[in-house]
Structure 1
Amino acid sequence: MLKQEIEKALTILKNGGVILYPTDTVWGLGCDATNEAAVAKINKIKGRAEDKSFIILLDTDNKLQSYVNDVPDVAYDLIEFAENPLTIIFSNAKNLSKNVINADGSVGIRIVKHDFCQQLIHRFRKPITSTSANISGQPAAATFDDISEEIKEAVDLIVNWEQDLREPKKPSTIMKLAPDGQFSFIRR
């Protein structure tokens, strides 16, 4: 079952589509984070400003250097010892769609510890976007049942995994990390 859902999602991602999928936090809208047209589709679905950056997901911290110029050593410790999902905003993003990157050149990256996401990203071999599955300005969907029909109808694939989980999930902690290792919390 999991393998079949990953295969379906891979096909959509490779063709520039948008998936609605479970993550280690809230349900998300995902696409190829290196595909500008796919990212623009998510902005349209959410009714979101095009200049707003995205969080991207990776399956392992070994891939950070592919998307960030300077990864401070402390980043690896923060990721390893985080007890809850942690998104780190890094300076000097690279090799990503320009509409994923913030105006200041930064990007938020989360290393996921979630079976579906890890396997999907590992197989896709590129980062995927993760933005909450809601219309911009509305509350994030804590469970699948909280996702609006408008969102469900707009995506190319709804992943049939963890839809029956009723325990609400929370967004990740967000931390900004400077190249010199200084950090501050944006959201706890």
Structure 2
Amino acid sequence: MAEIIRIYNENPNPREITKVVKTLRSGGLVIYPTDTVYGLGCDITNNSALEKIAQIKGVKLEKANFSFICHDLSNLSDYVKQIDTATFKILKRCLPGPYTFILPGNNNLPTVFKKKKTVGIRVPDNNICRAIVEELGNPIVSTSIRDEDEVIEYTTDPELIQEKWDNLVDIVIDGGYGDNTPSTVIDLTSEEPEVLREGKGSLEIM
């Protein structure tokens, strides 16, 4: 049974955040709000939790395109190769915000992602998920619970999310109604930024 925990974005309750972090550290799966759609996440360092998410999404873990939710840009150097000034300026201008940036991965990636040349990085403009990552001390791996064919309410209303995901996850965070528009995905690994998916983030930042 998934526990539903109400946390307010304006002022996340530290006790509740600690409870979520304990669950993540023990290999639990959590559904949490972002500045776009609700996300399904786990501790990036926990292989069995990563396997569980890949299974739920029906993908092979080493081929999965999960993004990493970071607290701020200081987490970047843990998993991303050194980036140039122009790239850093784009990141600084857009984050926190509704963007996923594809960047070149470095050798510190968790074992299961070692073969990946790139990583997707998110710093959502949402205090709840960033407080969780900050207390956890490392990123959480994330994938959205949005499904093209689904009834929208099932991915935006926390109570319906809990109903649907009840037996698959440990905690559903109720951070209010979610959005149904995903993040804008921008690849920054080549000379010119390339938009891979147009979502909530404005393209005028380029």
Give TM-score, length-normalised by structure 2. Answer: 0.76
Could you say which residue in structure 2 is the equivalent of 1:87? Answer: 100
Could you say which residue in structure 2 is the equivalent of 1:37? Answer: 48
Could you say which residue in structure 2 is the equivalent of 1:53? Answer: 65
Unaligned runs of 5+ in 2: 1-6, 8-12, 199-206
Distance of 2:159 and 2:58 partners within structure 1: 20
User: Structure 1 residue 114 and structure 2 residue 126: aligned?
Assistant: yes
Distance of 1:122 and 1:99 partners within structure 2: 23
Displacement of 1:147 after TM fit? 3.1
Could you say which residue in structure 2 is the equivalent of 1:96? Answer: 109
| Regions of 4+ moved over 4 Å | 137-140
Q: 1:66 to 1:132 in 2, by over 3 A?
A: same
Displacement of 1:55 after TM fit? 0.5
Contact 2:146 2:180 in 1 (8 A): no
Amino acid at match of 2:98: P
Q: 1:22 aligns with which of 1, 14, 33?
A: 33
Greater mean deviation of Cα atoms: 27-36 or 77-86: 77-86
Q: 1:10 to 1:104 in 2, by over 3 A?
A: closer
Q: How do 1:1-188 and structure 2 match up within 5 A?
A: 2-50=13-61, 51-82=63-94, 84-100=97-113, 104-133=116-145, 138-139=149-150, 141-144=155-158, 147=161, 149-159=163-173, 161-162=174-175, 164-165=176-177, 168-178=179-189, 181-188=191-198
Q: 1:147 to 1:94 in 2, by over 3 A?
A: farther
Displacement of 1:73 after TM fit? 2.1
What value does the CA root-mean-square deviation take over the aligned residues?
2.5
Q: 1:138 to 1:36 in 2, by over 3 A?
A: farther
Distance of 1:60 and 1:176 partners within structure 2: 19
Unaligned runs of 5+ in 1: none
Residues 5-47 of structure 1: CA distance to partner in whole angstroms, max 9, x if unpaired? 2111110111121111111211111111122221111112233
Contact 1:64 1:71 in 2 (8 A): no
Q: 1:177 to 1:30 in 2, by over 3 A?
A: same
Displacement of 1:146 after TM fit? 5.5
Fraction of identical pairs, as percent: 29
The number of aligned residues is 182
Distance of 2:25 and 2:44 partners within structure 1: 11
Distance of 1:11 and 1:43 partners within structure 2: 21
